[in-house]
């Protein structure tokens, strides 16, 4: 039997795998099938309270309620962008902010989840950095973000019409909360639950090289994206200080190692935020292409026009500059795409998550 901190009221049941939930109910004197029933209620039907689990006898629900929590995140605000993107600002039981973004797309909707409350890394173009690290999120809190977003977007427990992609690109550095992240990915991939398989999940890192190597060894792993932001160590040290610990050559060596684990048709992605007059010149595009080619990396580059937010000292590059940067990469054999910013008006776009309220005009506060 699995060891669980089971009689602790703080057990977050959304953070338990199906076998762990079975063990949990067994410690309460319940048969194993009740654990499977509970897993389906939490993860498949996406119920967030025991009262809603009316197929469980009332006294059993009361007992479960004493031993664990069906949900712990409180939705403080919900903001809806003119482009349909939704941002949820939630609070943990100990009052830490958690932000999640739902991005409707033509083919398949995407949920961007956070792995930490705040972030310890000091990327200068990112608003989250200004919060510092408040704490790591638990596996249950990561899973719950997805449940909240799905319920809000489609209706409580309603089957997602087109399936869902997940991206770990919200607040925090996912690889500094590696175990909880992997556990959450395992839980959401369970076919009896949310059934969002690792192949639908992409995790983005600022460049924690040892974890990139470790991820490569995991058979059922998510896809990988790496935030680069600069083609030289000198500039990257400035924009992403984590580079001083794992400089570009070391980072790209780890990526090369990761490349061996790619499945047919799979590529990993470099994210490159474009900051006007800082990292967006033709020369820097050539340096970036040369860097990737020198390491013979078969990756694609997503160019992300910077999402401005006070008090960040940067502006987005002009459309013409972005296009010229992209063309230079392509001309040197590096596949590059321009990512369209989503949810800028509600501070939901990349680098804008800092637990802020937006202007009342764009707010639709409908806590559920």
Catalytic residues, by residue number, are: 99, 350
Question: Is there a cis peptide before residue 69, judged by omega within 30 degrees of 0?
Answer: no
Q: Min. distance of Cβ 246 from ligand SF4 in angstroms?
A: 13
Neighbours of 256 (CB within 10 A): 14
| Distance from C-alpha of 233 to C-alpha of 231, rounded to nearest angstrom | 7
* Options 99, 109, 152, 173; binder of ligand SF4; rule CB under 6 A: 173
43: DSSP letter: I
By CB under 6 A, the residues from 344 to 363 that bind ligand SF4 are 351
Q: Min. distance of Cβ 97 from ligand SF4 in angstroms?
A: 13
Whether residue 69 contacts residue 11, with contact meaning beta carbons closer than 8 Å, is answered with yes
Rank residues 85 and 307 by Cβ distance to ligand SF4 and give the closer one.
307
* Options 206, 328, 334, 348; binder of ligand SF4; rule CB under 6 A: 206
- Token pair, residue 28, equals 């309460």
Rank residues 47 and 349 by Cβ distance to ligand SF4 and give the closer one.
349
**CA dist 362 to 84, 350, 359, Å?**
11, 18, 6
Q: Min. distance of Cβ 325 from ligand SF4 in angstroms?
A: 20
Whether residue 270 contacts residue 292, with contact meaning beta carbons closer than 8 Å, is answered with yes
Total site size for ligand SF4, rule CB under 6 A: 11
Binding characters for ligand SF4, 91-130, by CB under 6 A (x = yes): ----------------------------x-x-x--x-xx-
Q: Min. distance of Cβ 58 from ligand SF4 in angstroms?
A: 44
110 — phi, psi (to 5°)? -125, 140
Rank residues 13 and 240 by Cβ distance to ligand SF4 and give the closer one.
240
Tell me the window of 82-90, 100-108, 167-175, 187-195 that interacts with ligand SF4 (CB under 6 A): 167-175
Rank residues 122 and 199 by Cβ distance to ligand SF4 and give the closer one.
122
* Options 35, 97, 168, 172; binder of ligand SF4; rule CB under 6 A: 172
| Distance from C-alpha of 241 to C-alpha of 349, rounded to nearest angstrom | 22
- Token pair, residue 78, equals 């919900």
Q: Which of 5, 2, 43, 50 is nearest to 23 (CA)?
A: 2
Rank residues 71 and 100 by Cβ distance to ligand SF4 and give the closer one.
100
| Residues facing 328 on adjacent strands | none
Per rule CB under 6 A, is residue 152 in the interface with ligand SF4? Answer: no
Whether residue 269 contacts residue 255, with contact meaning beta carbons closer than 8 Å, is answered with no
Q: Which residues bind ligand SF4 (CB under 6 A)?
A: 119, 121, 123, 126, 128-129, 171-173, 206, 351
């Amino acid at each position: 039997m699995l060891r669980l901190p089971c009689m602790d009221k703080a057990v977050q049941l959304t953070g338990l795998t199906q076998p762990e939930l079975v063990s949990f109910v067994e410690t309460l004197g319940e048969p194993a099938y009740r654990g499977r029933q509970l897993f389906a209620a939490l993860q498949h039907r996406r119920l967030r309270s025991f009262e809603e689990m009316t197929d469980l006898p009332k006294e059993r629900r009361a007992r479960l309620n004493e031993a664990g929590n069906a949900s712990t995140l409180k939705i403080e605000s919900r903001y809806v962008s003119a482009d349909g993107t939704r941002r949820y600002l939630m609070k943990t039981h100990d009052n830490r902010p958690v932000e999640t973004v739902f991005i409707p797309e033509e083919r398949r909707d995407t949920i961007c989840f956070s792995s930490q409350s705040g972030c310890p890394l000091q990327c200068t173009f990112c608003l989250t950095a200004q919060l510092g690290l408040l704490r790591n999120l638990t596996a249950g809190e990561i899973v719950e973000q997805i449940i909240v977003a799905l319920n809000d977007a489609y209706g409580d427990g309603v089957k997602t019409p087109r399936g869902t992609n997940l991206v770990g690109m919200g607040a925090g550095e996912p690889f500094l909360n590696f175990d909880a992240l992997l556990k959450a990915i395992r839980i959401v991939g369970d076919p009896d639950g949310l059934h969002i398989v690792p192949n639908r999940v992409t995790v983005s890192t600022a460049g924690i090289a040892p974890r990139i190597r470790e991820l490569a060894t995991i058979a059922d792993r998510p896809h990988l994206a790496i935030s680069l932001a600069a083609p030289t160590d000198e500039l990257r040290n400035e924009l992403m200080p984590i580079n001083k610990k794992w400089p570009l050559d070391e980072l790209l060596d780890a990526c090369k190692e990761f490349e061996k684990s790619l499945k047919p048709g799979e590529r990993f992605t470099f994210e490159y935020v474009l900051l006007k007059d800082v990292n967006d010149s033709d020369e820097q595009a050539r340096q970036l292409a040369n860097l990737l080619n020198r390491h013979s990396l078969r990756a694609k580059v997503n160019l992300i026009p910077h999402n401005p937010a006070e008090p960040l000292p940067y502006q987005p590059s002009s459309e013409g500059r972005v296009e010229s940067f992209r063309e230079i990469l392509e001309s040197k054999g590096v596949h590059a795409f321009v990512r369209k910013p989503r949810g800028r008006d509600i501070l939901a776009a990349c680098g804008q998550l800092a637990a802020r309220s937006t202007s009342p005009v764009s707010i639709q506060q409908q806590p559920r």
